[in-house]
Amino acid sequence: MKADDAVVLAQALTKRFGAFTAVDGLDLAIARGEVVGFIGPNGAGKSTAIRLLCGLLRPSAGRAIVAGYDVGREPEAVREHIGYMSQKFSLYGDLTVRENLQFFGGLYRVPRRELEQRMGLAVALAGLEGRERALVRTLAGGWKQRLALGCAILHRPPVLFLDEPTSGVEPEARRKFWDLIHHLASDGVTILVSTHYMEEAEYCNRIALIDAGRLVAIGSPGSLRRRELGGTLYELECSALGAAVAAANSAPGVIDAAIFGDKLHVLMAQGADTAELARLLGRARITAGPPRAIIPSLEDVFVRLVAKPRDRRSGA
Amino acid sequence: MFDRLRVMLMKELLELHRDPWAMFRLVVPLLLQLFAFGYAATFTVNHVATSVLDLDHSQESRGLISHFAATGRFDFVDFATSQADVTRDIDAGRATVAIVIHAGFARDLLNGRTGPLQVAVDGTNSNTALIALGYVGRIVARYQADRTGVTVPAAAAGASGVSVTLRERPWFNGGLEDRWFFIPGLIGTLTLIQVVSLTAFAVVREREVGTLEQIMVSPIRPIEFILGKAAPFFFIGLGEVLLITMVGEWWFHIPFLGSPLVMLLGASLFLLAALGLGLLLSTLSRTQQQAFALNFFIVNPFFILSGFAFPIAAMPAAMQWFTWINPLRYFLVVTRAVFLKGVGIAVLWPDLAVMGLLGAVLFGLSILRFRKSLD
């Protein structure tokens, strides 16, 4: 994609808090209608990156263009064209569903004629028909979340930033929320969403893996799985997982071994033989099932990618 | 601008309306403090616990003691038999004042000499001690006058020659009622405390809950946000001024001689300054604890250095300078003058002007300080 086509564009975007670099040289280009997921552990810099793109924080270096406006120089113009859901739930609990919608619609100066119709759509979107007069604090998490999304899109922003919108929401409600996201994206809304639920990453067109303020990798879930691992992944059921990791790592052809739930995941170089691995495990008195080649999950990819730069650092 | 101001205002009023304790928090502490000050705050010294030691046992010494008893200002808690008893009474706090009439009191008086009378005062509370000593001086002077039939002013007691008679006639508060002084002053003091903390917390709470971030990311302008936040508290403040004024006039019967319009003008300018101060504090605080600490740190000095209870003229120069930037100082002048003196804008315009200026500066600063960024 050419940079000119990007609805959200970050170039060497950096945010430092004192000596701490929260976002470190982020380069990113998102096309219209794309759903891009920020994936990474807590404290990786996902929220800071989103706040930079919303103009809530000023970049220390680099720049960002959102909906055609420079975030550092024209933050007010950016604000007119984006919707944002912060990590904290941020509607007014003492106001009703309708009053919250009226308030946010008013903040964005949605014309009164249209507001009524759009509020109706937002209520329908949240599945809150008939509960317009309920106080928001009485709603369950999933409804609150969908209502917050409804409030964030009342002014029809072409770009949406959602910072962990589904955290603390039950799985069923999370799935509904993602349906809404895709519905919006199909209307041409560009959406950047952060999450720490790995399975949610699969719902994104592209995933940006973020660790320690840096963009580690970006691509579609499928391409990340194929491209980034650089080998074949095997899964084994075995006893004494801790000892098994050590034994597997010493086997020839093994790139990396890691515990994955109650199983062992072993990444082996393309074409390497698993017989030697089984022999070494046997010698370490570990009872192991046969290694099965599996399709790596995104978590495998992430664990592998985040481990890589650390290996280099400790090796240096 | 007015669209967003209107929705901000609507939102604030709805939140206030939904808060079941809002009315309680706004009115009850105010009334409690008003009645506490109305009934309990007084500089008058009455029923001073007094220990008496009469070593003369004469008709004259008993006459002097009965003069003390007649005023009602002194309650005799102990008729001591020795100097040691008197010391013990004062040490233990049983007595604030000790009157010791030494042997030979009557003899000296009869011989035209000065009778030896000793008064000891517990000076821990310097104010009470000073006032009690003043009473002692007057009672002794009256005793002397009754005995000799000559009126001598207290200060000149004992001196001979020209006799000057003092006729006291205090203006504006003929009965020298402390209540008349305190209650008009409470209008400014209580309103300042309430309005500053309400406004400071209102913004910080939104910051803590996270709604402020949602507002910051919208295209609202700082002035729209600040005015929308402040407006409800302005009217709440005016309501409190009205409430205290009514209770003062109808319950405590403080005369209200001036124009209600001058009071309204003064209150509006004062509230502007108080709101500006509260908003400024809120932009300086990240959490409610910080707002609480800052509020305490700022409001108490404003209260002490205002002239509410302690005269500004008696303060050291540096403290007096601070009072110049204290809006409460000016509003106290206005409320007391409007209540008791009945003067109008012709006299009060400098105070009103300075309050307006302080209000504009504080409000302007809070708008400038409110950044739509989390940096």
We report the CATH number of the domain holding residue B119 as 3.40.1710.10
Question: Looking at residue A35, what is its pLDDT?
Answer: 96
- For residue A251, the model assigns a pLDDT of 85
The CATH code that applies to domain A3-220 is 3.40.50.300
- Cβ atoms of A98 and B5 within 8 Å: the answer is no
Give the pLDDT band (50/70/90) at residue A38: very high
d(CA B338, CA B179): 15
Range of the domain at B57: 48-156
Structural domain contains residue B73? yes
Q: Please say whether the structural domain A226-315 has been given the CATH code 3.30.70.100.
A: yes
Instruction: List, in sequence order, every residue forming a beta bridge with B303; answer none if it has no partner.
Output: none
Give the three-class secondary structure for A83.
strand
Are B15 and A135 a contacting pair at CB < 8 A? no
DSSP B284-340: H-SSHHHHHHHHHHHHHHHHHTTTSSS-GGGS-HHHHHHHHT-HHHHHHHHHHIIII
Q: What share of chain A is helix, strand, coil (3-state, %, to 5)?
A: 40, 25, 35
Q: Euclidean distance between the first and final Cα of chain A, in Å?
A: 36
Q: What pLDDT digit, counting tens, does each position of A194-243 carry?
A: 988 888 888 999 999 999 899 988 999 888 887 777 788 889 888 888 88
pLDDT of residue B370: 83
**Nearest-CA distance from B223 to chain A in Å?**
13
How does pLDDT run along chain B (375 residues), one tens digit per residue? 678 999 999 999 999 899 888 888 888 988 998 898 888 877 777 888 999 999 989 888 898 899 888 888 888 988 988 889 898 988 888 898 999 998 888 888 888 788 788 888 888 888 888 888 888 888 888 888 888 765 544 444 454 545 566 677 778 876 667 888 888 989 999 999 989 988 988 889 898 888 999 999 999 998 899 999 999 999 999 999 999 999 999 999 888 888 999 999 999 999 999 999 999 998 888 888 898 898 888 888 998 899 888 888 888 998 899 999 999 999 999 999 998 888 888 889 999 999 999 999 998 998 888 877 777
Choose among B26, B311, B213, B306: nearest CA to A56: B213
- What is chain B's Cα-based Rg? 28
Task: Collect all residues of chain A within an 8 Å Cβ-Cβ radius of residue B374.
Answer: 51, 56-57
Statement: residue A21 has pLDDT above 80: yes
pLDDT top residue among A150 and A225? A150
Q: What is the residue extent of each domain of chain A? A: 3-220, 226-315
Please indicate, yes or no, whether residues B24 and B103 belong to a single structural domain of this protein: no
Q: Model confidence over A57-95: pLDDT tens digits?
A: 999 999 999 999 999 899 999 999 999 998 887 899 999
| CB-closest option in B6, B14, B210 to A95 | B14
Domain end residue (candidates: B125, B156, B187): B156
What's the confidence (pLDDT) of residue A312? 38
Nearest Cα of chain B lies from the Cα of A88 at a distance, in angstroms, of 6
pLDDT of residue A305: 77
What's the CA gap between B331 and A166, in Å, rounded? 52
Test B218 with A56 for CB contact under 8 angstroms. no
Q: Which residues of chain B approach chain A closer than 8 Å at the C-beta?
A: 3-4, 6-7, 10-11, 14-15, 18-19, 209-211, 213-220, 372-375
The mean pLDDT value of chain A amounts to 87
Cβ B216–A95 below 8 Å, yes or no? no
Q: How far apart are the C-alpha atoms of B226 and B67, rounded to whole Å?
A: 64
Domain membership flag for residue B163:
no
Sort out which chain A residues have CB atoms less than 8 A from B10's CB and list them: 99, 102-103, 106
